[in-house]
Amino acid sequence: MMGNNVFRTLLGAGAILAGLGAAPLAAQTGSGAVPLGDAARGAGLWEQECAACHEMGRGAENGIGPHLNRIFSRRAAGLDDFVYSGSITRMGRDGLRWTYRTLDAYIENPYALVSGTRMSYAGLPDAQDRADLLGYIRQFSDMPEDIPEAEPTARRVEIDLPPEVLAIRGDREWGEYLASECLTCHQRDGAAMGIPSITHWPEDRFVAAMHAYKEGLRPHSVMQNVARRLDNEEIAALAAYFATIDD
Ligand code: HEC
Ligand code: HEC
């Protein structure tokens, strides 16, 4: 299945990476653009952080985690022969695709992007580490030249919420007031009809999930609209309320 393809891809990637002067791209994509990561350094990070669960390259197979060949532009939970969690399967159905931006967010904090993921990995907090790692992983994706350059280079830190946002202490009573809208869909006592349970979550995870909708990282359009109407204080208030809803 892999065979020559991967080697062709590797050669292609090398040529592309070599041809990518950071400066012209940064100029093209405007502010916030950073150069692609250092794939050689990324290879070391891959061994350290991911290789225990994932395989990549010629003959890669599924292990504890799915193989990650051609992960760029693959749909989330897109392999037929791997049994994924319900949570990531739902995100894939919603339309989540793996791009530089969504991979970066998932690797930074898997739970912020996919609340119930089975990938038990704490996350890679350093942005440069992630850029280097993704520079390496990208070499195993089909035809890296098909990947829009603006995507890998125009990188904003999305779910890396500023400490002041995470530090907001939610006003539980206000949260209770705001929650009446949410409870038209989300059941107080758990999941129903494909609508997941949002009660008794750690507050930081709840806040991260809401911001992931707000920033469009999570694809579900109804929830994106819900989250975009809420400001940071309101999200914190809702997190405080739902965390302790029956207490
Ligand atoms: C402890 C094992 C483990 C580690 C370590 C781990 N993963 Fe995973 N990974 C998984 C599992 C299990 C899944 C399936 C998730 C699910 O079903 O919710 C997964 C899923 C993924 C997916 C989604 C694949 C798809 O087909 O949609 C990506 C991308 C991914 N991991 C990347 C990484 C990267 C990059 C690293 C290293 C920084 C890493 N993972 C570290 C176990 C792991
Ligand atoms: C019209 C119905 C509807 C309303 C109203 C609604 N939600 Fe949702 N919500 C959903 C659906 C459907 C999903 C699953 C979306 C997905 O697959 O990402 C969801 C997902 C979520 C998630 C992520 C759950 C997970 O397991 O990943 C959170 C958190 C959340 N909603 C919070 C809220 C809050 C807070 C409100 C009120 C301000 C709210 N929702 C209002 C339908 C709704």
Q: CA-based angle 123:125:126, to the nearest 5?
A: 135
Atom of ligand 2 nearest to the CA of 206: 29
What average pLDDT does range 44-65 have in this prediction?
A: 94
Counting ligands in written order, the one closest to the CA of 238 is 2
φ, ψ dihedrals at 117, nearest 5°: -65, 145
Give the pLDDT band of residue 247 (cuts 50, 70, 90). confident
In this structure, which residue's CA is closest to atom 34 in ligand 1? 50
Integer Cα distance of 68 and 81 in angstroms: 13
Sorted by where each begins, the domain ranges of the chain are: 4-153, 163-243
Span from the CA of 26 to the centroid of ligand 1 (angstroms) = 30
In this structure, which residue's CA is closest to atom 13 in ligand 2? 195
Span from the CA of 106 to the centroid of ligand 1 (angstroms) = 9
Span from the CA of 80 to the centroid of ligand 2 (angstroms) = 27
The CATH code of domain 4-153 reads: 1.10.760.10
Residue 63's pLDDT is what?
A: 93
At 105-142, the pLDDT tens digits run 999 999 999 999 999 999 999 999 999 999 999 888 86
What average pLDDT does range 15-41 have in this prediction?
A: 47
DSSP state of 133: H
- Report how far apart, in Å, the C-alpha atoms of 155 and of each of 9, 49, 105 are: 23, 22, 11
Cβ-contact 36, 152 below 8 angstroms: yes
Q: Where are the alpha helices (DSSP H) in the chain?
A: 4-19, 22-29, 39-49, 86-94, 100-108, 110-113, 127-137, 150-153, 163-167, 172-182, 203-214, 221-228, 232-243
The answer to whether the 4-153 and 163-243 domains have the same CATH topology is yes
Integer Cα distance of 189 and 210 in angstroms: 20
Q: Which CATH class is domain 163-243?
A: mainly alpha
What average pLDDT does range 189-210 have in this prediction?
A: 86
pTM score: 0.71
What average pLDDT does range 66-75 have in this prediction?
A: 92
Span from the CA of 210 to the centroid of ligand 1 (angstroms) = 22
Give the pLDDT band of residue 7 (cuts 50, 70, 90). very low
User: Which is higher by pLDDT, 26 or 89?
Assistant: 89
